[in-house]
Amino acid sequence: MSTQTPVQDWTALGSRQIAVNGIELRVVEHGEGPLVVFCHGFPELGFSWRHQVFAFAEAGFRTLTPDMRGYGGSSRPDRIQDYAMATLCGDLVGLLDAVGAQDAIFVGHDWGASVVWQTALRHPDRVRAVAGLSVPVAPRPKAPPISIFRSRLGENFYMCWFQEPGVADAALAADVRRTLLRDEVVSAGDMTGGSANPQPPQWLSEAELQYYVDAFTETGFTGGLNYYRNLDRDWELSADLAGAKITAPAYFIAGADDAVLRFTPLAKMDAVLTDLRGTLLLDGAGHWIQQERADEVSTALIDFAHSVPGN
C-alpha cells in the first residue's frame, strides 16, 4: 500500500494532452484491461475519481480519466455553445478514437452522469455499459428545462441563477474555498453563503481540497457553468431523442441524502433504461458520493463492470 497521500499518488500517475473534437483534454491513464472512462461533474476534476482509478486498476481494468471540457488542464473554449451536450458527447467518442478503442464502460458523476447517459443514447455502439452517480437519467421533458425549474423552484434556484453569463462566475470565484466546500445546493444562497472559513468534511483532506482550490483559482468556474447555460439549447436540439432508450447495461448510485434526488426522481429511469442492473442508495451519504463513500462505490462499480459481457 502506498505511503504517499492521495494527491501524491494521483500526481505520480502523470497525464497527457489528447486532441479530441477540436480541443485538448488532459487525461490520466492507469491500469490494463477492459477500458473504463470516468467523467466528473461540477465543480470537480478528474481528480475526483482518484479512489476509483486505483481500485479499478487493481481489479484488472484500464482507466481513462479526463478533466472534462472547460475544467483543469483541458481546453476551455469561450463560447457558451461550445459546451452543448452533443459536443460533450463528441469529446468522449473522440477520446475513444484517439486511443484506438471501439467502446468502453462509461462512469459519470453529476454533470458527468448526464454526459455519459446522453453518450449512451447518442452513440450506443461506443458504450459497452454505463453507470451514473447522483444524477439519474430521465426522459426528455415536454418543455425547456429552465422554464420548468423557474416555474416550480423559482428564479433563485441555482440552475436558474447560473444562466446569466458573468454573475455566478464572479460570485463563485470570489471565495473559491468556500464555493468548493458548499454542502447542499438548491438556491443561489447555498452557493455563496455559509461560514467564512469552512472546514473540509472528514473524507477530504486539506491537501486534497487545496488541489481543487489551486485548479479553480487558475481557471475560474465559467467552463462548468456553461454546461448549465446550454440546458434549453440542448432540449431544443434533442427532439429526435424523445422516447429513446438506453439498451446498454446500466447502474445507478447515489447518496440517500443527496438534494439532487428531490428534483430528479429515480422513478423515471425505467422509462429510459432497458437493462438497469441495479440502484444503490447509500444511507447517510450526500452528493460527492465517490469521494465520501469511496470504498463502497468502487466495490459496487467494479462488480457491475465485471457483470458486463466481455469483462
Q: Which has the closest alpha carbon to 128: 220, 250, 31?
A: 250
Output phi, psi for 89, to 5 deg: -65, -35
Compute CA 283 distance to the chain's CA centroid, rounded to the nearest angstrom.
Answer: 21
Catalytic sites, residue numbers: 110, 287
**Grid coordinates belonging to 94:** 473522440
Check if the beta carbon of residue 245 is closer than 8 Å to that of residue 272: yes
Distances (CA, A) of 28 to 73, 115, 151, 152, 172: 11, 19, 41, 40, 27
Omega within 30 of 0 (cis) for the link into 66: no
Distances (CA, A) of 49 to 90, 171, 259, 289: 21, 27, 21, 10
Query: What do you get for the CA distance between the two ends of the chain, in Å?
Result: 26
Output phi, psi for 191, to 5 deg: -80, -25
